[in-house]
Structure 1
Amino acid sequence: MAWHGWVEGDAQSRLDPHHAWLFEDLPGGRVHILTRETQNGTPAKELAQTRPNPMINGRQEWLDVLVAATRRAGG
């Protein structure tokens, strides 16, 4: 699963991200999720220097919610 987005603008405001997730069934009812992203543009370079990093933390929160929902559903 993947998505690509963008914010048009000048060299200082243009943003061009791409995010992808690979889901892999594993034995024992387990799932492996591999995430990758690219973020191009000045705003992305600035965001990458932010601590704590909101993109990394947001991705981890998404994974935590996915795991919790799966467990509630009996998975």
Structure 2
Amino acid sequence: MEDLPGGRVRILAQETQIGRPAAELARQIPNPMLNGHQAWLDGLVRAASGGLSA
């Protein structure tokens, strides 16, 4: 995570697709690993915006 000007934050996320189960997921369309990471990022945005209660 990196603070940026203008109240912005940069998040670098990396995924490692190692092993047979991960390789099989990587071949699927739509890619469930990519979609899962995007859902995680969307949840971070909602939480940071106050849209998610604890």
If the length of structure 2 is used for normalisation, what is the TM-score?
0.82
Structure number with greater Rg is: 1
Indicate the structure with greater helix content: 2
If the length of structure 1 is used for normalisation, what is the TM-score?
0.61
Amino acid at match of 1:28: G
Unaligned runs of 5+ in 2: none
Across the two proteins, how many residue pairs are aligned to each other?
51
Corresponding residue number in structure 1 for 2:21: 43
Question: RMSD of aligned C-alpha atoms?
Answer: 1.3
Q: State the percentage of identical aligned residues.
A: 63
Corresponding residue number in structure 2 for 1:69: 47
With a CA cutoff of 8 Å and minimum separation of 6, indicate the structure with the bigger relative contact order.
1
Unaligned runs of 5+ in 1: 1-22
